[in-house]
Amino acid sequence: MDKHVVLESIKKLREISPKRKFDQTLDISVNLSKLDIKNPDQKIDLFVQLPHKLSKEPKVCALIGKELSTKAKTFDKLIMQEDFSNYSKDKKELKKLAREYDYFVAQANLMAEIGTYFGKALAPLGKMPNPKAGCIVPSTADLDPLAKKLKTTVRLITKEQLVVKAVAGTESMKDEELADNILAVYNALIHKLPQGEKVNMKSFLIKFTMSSSVQITDKGPIAKNVKIEEKPKKVAKK
């Protein structure tokens, strides 16, 4: 994918998107084809580190023991080992925790307990601490690099459908920054497609939160389902 085409697609997206009163997210949606996602070798599940920070950074919760209690203060929330059982007693609070945080970091020797107390809430949302993202750490880990990395990390995963989605930034970011983030997602994804882009990628689209989509193609951007709001006709005065 050529960066010039990506920049032209972002420009087209801005042209067709009505102004909103909030900073819209730029979302990527990729339609895939000819993949058997029930086959572990063909299922897409990867974490991509973007070159530019997202305006809304992911929130991270650490599930740890006393060994990491000081180092883990770099994250948004800490839950200590002695408090794990409190969450199993309050299902409402546990579900709220699972929805509120994007990533969960776990101390490796506590994974069995974490699975017991938090698994039922985190697993269905795909939020169990994941080694692919570096989120299962030893009790001696330096957590600052991981905290910095997770702030620019997005996950690409196929669930029940042949679609992967990711956030690339927000409307207020520069076009160059958005293009770099989009290309990072694209390049990471095509390297995971078993039969390559030509066979396994049906379409690559971008959109703002409340806009129509723009498909990025080799020949340039294609606006999808654009609604043109007609100005009301003036009624002639009698």
pLDDT digits (tens, 9 = 90+) for 129-149: 999 999 999 999 999 999 999
Give CA angle at 55 (183, 48), nearest 5°: 35
Annotated domain spans of the chain: 3-55+152-224, 60-150
Domain 3-55+152-224: CATH class, spelled out: alpha beta
Number of Cβ within a 10 Å radius of residue 4: 10
- The domain 60-150 having CATH identifier 3.40.50.790: the answer here is yes
Instruction: Say how far apart CA 26 and CA 234 lie, in whole Å.
Output: 36
- The pLDDT assigned to 231 comes to 40
- The pLDDT assigned to 225 comes to 66
Q: Enter the tokens of residue 208.
A: 């703002």
Residues of the chain with pLDDT under 70: 225-238
Is 60-150 the same fold as 3-55+152-224? Answer: no
- The pLDDT assigned to 226 comes to 52
- The pLDDT assigned to 238 comes to 43
**3-class SS letters over 93-150:** HHHHHHHHCCEEEEEHHHHHHHHHHHHHHHHHHCCCCCHHHCCEECCCCCCHHHHHHH
- The pLDDT assigned to 234 comes to 46
What is the pTM assigned to this prediction? 0.84
